[in-house]
């Protein structure tokens, strides 16, 4: 039955690609047909993974010599089945949202998008199922191609193509690193079968393979210094495609890391320390840049880097346990990382889809621009809030449970005897704790300005919405992007973010069964103190019950609400209308309210060294000041300055502000404008010099095209002598 479901799934995905490429968007049905077929394919993949998980077994499907290089086969064991269930469930919700999005006026136009999305789903499933090196690498390259197709589909400017090339270049680095690592292991084991690599003897070759494979997967999930492509590329993808890139694509890279640990086992201790510190630095840098962005999509993209860093840090805990022989610590690290991966997949898919709907309604992605408009799409607003709470790691969401496990895992450094590893765990724990605090600040800002806020410029909410809609060219009701199928998709994602916390003990049992390929399932189930209480695998350390937390919170809320209604004799429910006020002012149109730029301005100062924050101040006559900055209101703070964010360049965010003052002695009104820019140090100090060096080398190499014949002959002679010397030395 499993084989039939897999055949049906890949057949549906192939048909989806064919329909999109052949028929194209001729009608609403041809536009939505690829996504309907992809949804059906994900249902089949989900069912096949669930059947294997329920049967506690493994399936091996032989494909013969399909690719002509060795024996090709698919393996569906506990680990691959678990990731197949997770990715297929999220992809099913994304496909449902794609159906509504494609059928609306904001839907896709042109061929390629449906085919690219179907290719993404097919290649992700093929990577998870691959049992040999060649089929794995072949599916990995197809995954990179699907990323490129989805990112460059809009092609509204040259930037989209450049961002697509940036993502593709990073993917090629990832693929090359995996290719070298796989070839090294295959040459030592004498087989392309991934499961046979556990027989490779410890030594330098095994350690080098460990490094190459970890680097290859780290590049895919966005670990520093390979993280620069995410904030540049994710916003370029259209609609729900961003959710597919962030949720489905990252899970495939995480699966590769888990599979590597299960196959190779004992890693070098210094690699575990490097993974811990790199993951902590990635998480802290990602959330710091996410918190100061003025563009919603770039904020969410940077938070993907933060989540990748947290998952990578937990993976470092698992590597530490495996390297030191502490199996419970390895189980705790993998459990925490898998919970964080589930949390990220659900929340990131939900928030990207909700942000895309807000963009379609408001025709902007600026935080101040979409403020209030998201209230016109209540399903997306609810999903946005639930996803943001999850990404912030706040109760009562599954993000709170996963981050609790991550912090508890990093607190186990006293169980490791090596001093260097203790320091690495302590340093990673400190960075993870600071990351959790900044995440709460970042996503509280998103909820406040996107869900609870309202656009400036009017005296009432309705008037402000109408004025902003008129300024954006919208008339009457905003165009809906929440069809019935799409509402079911975003509703399922929002519900899962909360329900997964309530059912966390069941989720732990599910993960224990999936991780049984890597660590003992009984060790992972040690996280169950009782049927409703969790602990970090080690007994008598700490406990948490997200299920009881939900019961108690709901009971307290209900009791408080009933008591208030009874004491007030029903007047509590009576609607009272009072003049609105902002910052002790009864006139909200006055320039005295916070904007998203001002909310995190203190953070720009505190983390100025990390963010490379720079400020430029200039005074200009008030009548020549920018009309945009004059209209948007002001940031509360010293000088009463207005904040307007504008993302520019790779890893940069520029904020503009202005103050209305009077020139001393003349009485002439002037306006002070300031620009505050933050830039990514990785892009500034690593990629920009590399790019300049590469371009300079290309200019010098261009001279070879018009050189003299004597130089060509000399070049060939030197090359031939070098090759002969290499051959002689290797014999």
Report domain extents, the chain.
266-543, 549-574, 611-679, 685-730
Helix (H, G, I), strand (E, B) or coil at 238: coil
Q: How far apart are CA 197 and CA 296, in angstroms?
A: 44
pLDDT-derived band at 475, boundaries 50, 70, 90:
very low
Does 703 have pLDDT greater than 50? Answer: yes
Joined together, the tokens standing for residue 454 give 């309202």
Whether the Cβ atoms of residue 265 and residue 197 lie closer than 8 Å to each other: no
Nearest to 242, CA basis, from 285, 311, 296: 296
pLDDT-derived band at 14, boundaries 50, 70, 90:
very high
User: What are the φ/ψ torsions at residue 519 (nearest 5 degrees)?
Assistant: -130, 165
Does 644 have pLDDT greater than 60? Answer: no
Looking at residue 616, its pLDDT comes to 74
Q: How far apart are CA 9 and CA 44, in angstroms?
A: 5
Looking at residue 480, its pLDDT comes to 45
- Where does residue 384 fall: left (phi above 0), alpha (psi -120 to 50 degrees), or beta otherwise? alpha
How many residues appear in the chain? 731
Looking at residue 453, its pLDDT comes to 66
Tokens 């499961």 identify what position?
Answer: 195
Q: How far apart are CA 285 and CA 307, in angstroms?
A: 11
Q: What is the mean pLDDT of residues 55-61?
A: 79
Does 299 have pLDDT greater than 70? Answer: yes
Question: Residues near 165 by Cβ (< 8 Å), separated by ≥ 6?
Answer: 148
Nearest to 46, CA basis, from 78, 96, 82, 7: 82
Q: How far apart are CA 294 and CA 654, in angstroms?
A: 8
pLDDT-derived band at 578, boundaries 50, 70, 90:
low
**C-alpha Rg value of the chain to the nearest Å:** 27
Strand partners, 658: 673
Does 240 have pLDDT greater than 60? Answer: yes
- CA distances 408 to 32, 199, 403, 528, 650, Å, are 45, 33, 8, 14, 35
Does 642 have pLDDT greater than 50? Answer: no
Helical (H) or strand (E) element with 671: strand 669-679
Q: How far apart are CA 502 and CA 38, in angstroms?
A: 30
Q: Who wins on pLDDT, 213 or 481?
A: 213
Q: Which of 54-63, 400-409, 667-676 has the highest average model confidence (pLDDT)?
A: 400-409
Would you tell me how many other CB atoms lie within 10 Å of the CB of residue 486? 26
Joined together, the tokens standing for residue 731 give 């014999």
pLDDT-derived band at 639, boundaries 50, 70, 90:
very low
Looking at residue 671, its pLDDT comes to 67
Whether the Cβ atoms of residue 277 and residue 424 lie closer than 8 Å to each other: yes
Does 557 have pLDDT greater than 50? Answer: yes
Whether the Cβ atoms of residue 518 and residue 261 lie closer than 8 Å to each other: yes
Q: Who wins on pLDDT, 573 or 172?
A: 172
Looking at residue 458, its pLDDT comes to 43
Looking at residue 192, its pLDDT comes to 87
Angle between helices 250-264 and 113-129 (to 10 degrees): 10
Angle between helices 78-103 and 327-362 (to 10 degrees): 0
Looking at residue 343, its pLDDT comes to 95
Please give the mean pLDDT across all residues of the chain. 82
Does 173 have pLDDT greater than 80? Answer: yes
Joined together, the tokens standing for residue 602 give 């203190």
Helical (H) or strand (E) element with 669: strand 669-679
Q: Among the residues of 568-669, which ranges form H helices? A: 596-599, 601-606, 608-611, 627-631
Whether the Cβ atoms of residue 161 and residue 167 lie closer than 8 Å to each other: no
Q: What is the mean pLDDT of residues 516-529?
A: 91
pLDDT-derived band at 378, boundaries 50, 70, 90:
confident
Looking at residue 377, its pLDDT comes to 81
Joined together, the tokens standing for residue 485 give 């199928």
Helix (H, G, I), strand (E, B) or coil at 678: strand
Joined together, the tokens standing for residue 40 give 């059906």
Does 157 have pLDDT greater than 70? Answer: no
Does 136 have pLDDT greater than 80? Answer: yes
Looking at residue 387, its pLDDT comes to 93
User: Over pLDDT 90: what percentage of the chain?
Assistant: 45
CA dihedral sign of residues 499, 504, 506, 510:
positive
Nearest to 121, CA basis, from 153, 98, 100, 155: 98
Looking at residue 534, its pLDDT comes to 92
Q: What is the mean pLDDT of residues 370-377?
A: 72
Q: Which of 158-172, 585-599, 604-618, 632-646 has the highest average model confidence (pLDDT)?
A: 158-172
Range 188-193, long-range pairs (CB < 8 A, 24+ positions): 191/70, 192/69, 192/70, 192/71, 192/132, 192/133, 192/134, 193/71, 193/73, 193/131, 193/132, 193/133
Q: Among the residues of 292-446, which ranges form H helices? A: 296-324, 327-362, 367-370, 378-392, 398-410, 419-446
**Global pTM exceeds 0.95:** no
Q: What is the mean pLDDT of residues 95-121?
A: 82
Joined together, the tokens standing for residue 373 give 């408009």
Looking at 501-651, which runs of residues are DSSP E strands? Answer: 528-530, 533-534, 614-621, 644-647
Whether the Cβ atoms of residue 106 and residue 479 lie closer than 8 Å to each other: yes
Joined together, the tokens standing for residue 435 give 């990351």
Question: Residues near 525 by Cβ (< 8 Å), separated by ≥ 6?
Answer: 508, 509, 512
- CA distances 362 to 298, 353, 377, 466, 477, Å, are 17, 14, 11, 12, 12
Looking at residue 636, its pLDDT comes to 31
Q: What is the mean pLDDT of residues 607-635?
A: 59
Does 181 have pLDDT greater than 70? Answer: yes
Does 114 have pLDDT greater than 70? Answer: yes
Does 328 have pLDDT greater than 70? Answer: yes
User: What are the φ/ψ torsions at residue 646 (nearest 5 degrees)?
Assistant: -150, 115
């Amino acid at each position: 039955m499993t084989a039939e479901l897999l055949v049906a799934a890949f057949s549906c995905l192939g048909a989806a690609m064919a329909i999109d490429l052949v028929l194209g968007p001729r009608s609403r049905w041809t536009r939505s047909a690829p996504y309907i077929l992809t949804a059906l394919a994900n249902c089949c993949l989900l069912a096949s993974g669930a059947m294997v998980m329920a049967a506690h077994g493994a399936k091996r499907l032989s494909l013969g010599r399909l690719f002509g290089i060795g024996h090709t086969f698919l393996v569906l064991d506990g680990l691959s089945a678990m990731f197949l269930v997770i990715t297929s469930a999220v992809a099913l919700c994304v496909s449902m949202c794609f159906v509504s999005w494609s059928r609306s006026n904001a839907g896709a136009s042109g061929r390629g998008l449906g085919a690219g999305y179907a290719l993404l789903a097919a290649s992700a499933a093929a990577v998870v199922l691959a049992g040999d090196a060649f089929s794995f690498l072949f599916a990995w390259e197809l995954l990179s191609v699907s990323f490129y197709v989805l990112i460059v589909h809009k092609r509204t400017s040259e930037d989209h193509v450049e961002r697509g090339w940036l993502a593709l270049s990073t993917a090629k680095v990832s693929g090359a690193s995996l290719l070298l690592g796989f070839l090294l292991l295959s040459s030592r084991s004498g087989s392309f079968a991934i499961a046979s690599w556990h027989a490779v003897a410890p030594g330098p070759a095994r350690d080098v393979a460990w490094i190459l494979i970890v680097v290859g997967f780290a590049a895919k999930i966005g670990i520093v210094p390979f993280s620069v492509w995410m904030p540049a590329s994710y916003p370029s993808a259209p609609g729900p495609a961003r959710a597919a890139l962030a949720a489905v694509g990252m899970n495939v890279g995480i699966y590769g890391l888990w599979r590597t640990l299960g196959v190779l086992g004992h890693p070098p201790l210094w690699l575990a320390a490097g993974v811990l510190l790199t993951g902590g630095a990635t998480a802290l840098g990602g959330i710091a840049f996410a918190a100061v962005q003025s563009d919603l999509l770039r904020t969410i993209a940077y938070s993907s880097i933060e989540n990748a860093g947290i998952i990578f840090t937990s993976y470092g805990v698992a590597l530490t346990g495996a390297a030191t022989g502490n199996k419970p610590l390895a189980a705790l690290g993998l459990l925490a990382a898998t919970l964080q991966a589930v949390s990220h997949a659900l929340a990131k898919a939900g928030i990207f889809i909700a942000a895309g709907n807000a963009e379609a309604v408001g025709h902007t992605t600026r935080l101040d621009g979409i403020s209030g408009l998201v209230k016109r799409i209540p399903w997306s607003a609810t999903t946005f809030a639930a996803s943001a709470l999850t990404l912030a790691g706040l109760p009562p969401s599954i993000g709170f449970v996963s981050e609790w496990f991550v912090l508890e895992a990093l607190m186990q450094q006293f169980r490791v005897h090596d001093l260097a590893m203790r320091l690495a765990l302590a340093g990673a724990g400190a960075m993870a704790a600071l990351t959790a605090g900044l995440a709460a600040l970042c996503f509280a800002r998103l909820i406040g300005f996107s869900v609870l806020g309202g656009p400036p410029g009017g005296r009432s909410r309705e008037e402000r919405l109408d004025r902003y809609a008129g300024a954006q060219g919208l008339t009457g009701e905003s165009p809906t992007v929440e069809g019935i199928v799409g509402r079911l998709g975003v509703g399922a994602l929002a519900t899962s973010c909360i329900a997964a916390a309530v059912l966390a003990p069941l989720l732990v049992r599910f993960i224990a069964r999936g991780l049984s390929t890597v660590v003992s399932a009984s060790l992972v189930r040690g996280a169950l103190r009782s049927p409703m209480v969790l602990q970090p695998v080690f007994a008598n350390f700490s406990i948490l019950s997200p299920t009881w937390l939900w019961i108690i919170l709901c009971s307290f809320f209900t009791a408080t609400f009933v008591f208030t209604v009874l004491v007030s004799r029903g007047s509590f429910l009576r609607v009272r209308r009072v003049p609105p006020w902002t910052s002790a002012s009864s006139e909200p149109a006055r320039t005295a309210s916070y904007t998203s730029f001002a909310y995190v301005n203190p953070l720009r100062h505190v983390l100025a060294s990390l963010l490379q924050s720079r400020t430029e101040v200039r005074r200009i006559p008030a009548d020549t000041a920018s009309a945009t900055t004059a209209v948007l209101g002001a940031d509360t703070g010293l000088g009463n300055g207005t904040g307007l964010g504008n993302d520019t360049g790779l890893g940069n965010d520029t904020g503009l502000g202005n103050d209305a003052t009077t020139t001393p002695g003349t009485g002439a009104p002037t306006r002070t404008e300031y620009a505050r820019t933050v830039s990514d140090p990785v892009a500034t100090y690593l990629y920009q010099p590399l790019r300049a060096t590469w371009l300079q080398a290309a200019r010098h190499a261009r001279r070879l095209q018009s050189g003299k014949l004597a130089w060509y002959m000399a070049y060939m002679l030197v090359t031939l002598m070098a090759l002969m010397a290499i051959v002689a030395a290797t014999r």
